[in-house]
Amino acid sequence: MPHHYKKNVALISSLQNLLPPESILTDAEDLRPFECDGLAVYRQLPMVVVLPETIAQVQSIMRLCYEHKVPVVARGAGTGLSGGALPLAEGLLLSLAKFKRILNIDPLNAMATVQPGVRNLAISEAAAAYGLYYAPDPSSQIACTIGGNVAENSGGVHCLKYGLTVHNILMLKVVTMEGDLLTIGAETLDSPGYDLLALMTGSEGMLGIIVEVTVKLLAKPERAQVVLAAFDDVVKAGEAVGAIIAAGIIPAGLEMMDKLAIQAAEDFVHAGYPRDAEAILLCELDGTDAEVSEFIMLVRKILTNSGAIEVRTAVDEAERQLFWKGRKSAFPAVGRISPDYYCMDGTIPRRHLPLVLRRISEMSAEFGLPVANVFHAGDGNLHPLILFDANKAGELERTEELGNRILQLCVEVGGTITGEHGVGIEKIDQMCAQFHSSELTQFHGVKAAFDPSGLLNPGKAIPTLHRCAEFGAMHVHHGQLAHPELERF
């Protein structure tokens, strides 16, 4: 780790004129909690951390940094999984932790305006009194904040039916690198001009600092019910997913776990999963009482016809919660059976699931590293968890290499290197495999349109062409297989 960077004394003394002393952190021990986000293998102390509490303060901080040419990294709760909020040694880390007020819940217009540091779940909790909720539910929803959700375009287990963050927000207030305050989007269903709201969502802190978010709220469904199906073959489970969708049903959640993930989860939370199954599917249906009853019967039939060895409907709300608890604790469960694990996040067209799972299992054997698979099956978002031991020499590097091969495979079958965790610092080299240099240049053009000085979160999300040349990745482009001899089915 590089030694602590030389402090920019002029900047810090100007900051002291703007903010109370407790809102400026410069001592190493105070900076330590900010050295990484949820991807802890990358760590770096920033030069300074600031914790403003008003938009005007954020604007002044940005103007100062712009003037002093100091790069800025924004941070919410720091739960991100791709190192997007990794500080820069010579940079300022802008924490939005103090922006945690819910400014307005407007039930008549089904929307809420909140500060970026409000936790995802807190929005739904506040809206519950009106029969409303905020739909995207990343598994970190207890801790992650809405500002970070916008920056990462977070998903969750209900994306197939309810969409990602980009589908569930209306308006943002954003401070630019120059300190201008912009309103992007509107409180109305569309807004004049280009769809900058789409660009901002998932922009990983590269385009502006999000200081206020207006979200869309939805009516809470009358009822939710979950069916668990066990299979003796992952291919059959994959086919069952397609069959459910072909029947005209859009489940609220449709999750798959493979044997290693099932066993780890079962040993951890005793969710009642069948330990000997090769794969399980959890299919949640929500809507009106009548609709849920009708579709549950239909889904049970489809699962049985697809060769499920066991089909169970949760008998009550407690069992429904338990079925989900197993899935939601899959990551920590895997954490119990291995000293370390590395969570991947590729998306593939669902029809390639059997091929991808088989190739992952072959690669797992080749690298001598076990892989547990947890899969948002409805929307094709795969989370292979690579089990490793960072204390064994070279194992982290081998794990990263295996992860890289898995992402390359996702691109080869027409998918993407990241479905919901973002590129950050983690997958910046894999971007070279997914995009041509002309496309990367276009991305840099978009970046420069918002941030001509390039001081916002530099070095993340979009690689420079130079970096790609050094990485030397073979470019595999959208479904054009690098290995046409591979069997596909």
| CA pair distance 97, 137, nearest whole angstrom | 20
Strands (E) across 1-40 are located at: 24-25
| Residue 187 found at the interface with another protein (CB under 8 A) | yes
Work out whether 125 is an interface residue with another protein (CB under 8 A): no
Query: Binding of another protein at residue 403 (CB under 8 A)?
Result: no
Segment near another protein (CB under 8 A); pick from 138-146, 179-187, 313-321, 357-365? 179-187
Closest contact distance (angstroms) between CB of 49 and another protein is 26
Question: CA-CA distance, 370 to 373, in Å (whole number)?
Answer: 10
Nearer to another protein, 107 or 272 (CB): 107
- For 157-183, b/e burial (b = at least 16 CB within 10 A) is bbbbbbbbbbebbbbbbbbbbebebee
86-105: which residues touch another protein (CB under 8 A)? none
Q: What is the distance between the alpha carbons of residues 42 and 89, in angstroms, rounded to a whole number?
A: 13
Of 226-234, 253-261, 332-340, 427-435, which segment contacts another protein by CB under 8 A? Answer: 427-435
- Rounded to a whole number of angstroms, the minimum distance from the CB of residue 284 to another protein is 15
Q: Does 273 bind another protein (CB under 8 A)?
A: no
- Please identify, using beta-carbon distances, which residue of 273 and 359 lies nearer to another protein: 359
Q: Are 48 and 24 in contact (CB under 8 A)?
A: yes
Task: Measure Cα distances from 62 to 10, 48, 170, 389 in Å.
Answer: 15, 14, 25, 41
Residue 317 sits in the site that holds another protein (CB under 8 A) = no
Stretch of residues binding another protein (CB under 8 A), selected from 90-98, 136-144, 384-392, 475-483: 475-483
Tell the residue number behind the tokens 């079958």, with chain if given.
413
The reply to whether 249 sits near another protein by the rule CB under 8 A is: yes
- According to CB under 8 A, which residues from 277 to 316 bind another protein? 287-291, 293-295
Distance CA 193, CA 489 (A): 43
| Minimum CB distance to another protein, residue 401 (Å) | 20
Stretch (H or E) spanning 267: helix 259-269
Residue 185 sits at φ, ψ, to 5 deg, of 80, -165
* Spatial distance between the Cα atoms of 353 and 33, rounded to a whole number of angstroms: 39
Nearer to another protein, 46 or 156 (CB): 156
Of the candidates 94, 360, 385, 423, which one interacts with another protein according to CB under 8 A?
423
Q: Kindly indicate which of the ranges 5-13, 32-40, 219-227, 329-337 contains the residues binding another protein, using the contact rule CB under 8 A.
A: 219-227
Instruction: Out of 233, 443, 454, 458, point to the residue binding another protein (CB under 8 A).
Output: 443
Q: Is-contact 386 402, C-beta < 8 A? A: yes
The residue among 359 and 383 lying less far from another protein, judged by its C-beta, is 383
The piece of 116-124, 241-249, 307-315, 386-394 that touches another protein (CB under 8 A) is 241-249
Which range touches another protein (CB under 8 A), out of 23-31, 185-193, 322-330, 392-400?
185-193
Number of other CB atoms surrounding residue 358 within 10 Å: 14
Q: How far is the CB of 122 from another protein (least distance, A)?
A: 19
Measure Cα distances from 265 to 137, 156, 269 in Å.
Answer: 20, 19, 6
Min. distance of Cβ 1 from another protein in angstroms? 28
Q: Binding another protein by CB under 8 A: which of 148, 380, 384, 459?
A: 380
**Rule CB under 8 A: is residue 196 a binding residue for another protein?**
yes
According to the binding rule CB under 8 A, does residue 347 interact with another protein? Answer: yes
- Name residue 217's amino acid: L
Q: Residues 35, 37, 53, 152: which binds another protein (CB under 8 A)? A: 152
Q: Which range touches another protein (CB under 8 A), out of 213-221, 271-279, 307-315, 321-329?
A: 213-221
Q: Which of 320, 359, 421, 460 binds another protein (CB under 8 A)?
A: 421
Angle at alpha carbon of residue 268, lines to 264 and 271, rounded to 5° = 95
140 vs 153, which CB is nearer to another protein? 153
The nearest distance, CB 290 to another protein, in angstroms, is 4
Least distance from another protein to the Cβ atom of residue 41, Å: 20
Say if residues 243 and 249 touch (Cβ distance below 8 Å): no
Strands (DSSP E) along 232-354, which ranges? 253-258, 279-287, 310-313, 340-343, 346-347
What does the alpha-carbon distance between residue 228 and residue 410 come to, in Å, rounded to a whole number? 27
Q: What are phi and psi of 12, to 5 degrees?
A: -65, -40
Nearer to another protein, 46 or 83 (CB): 83
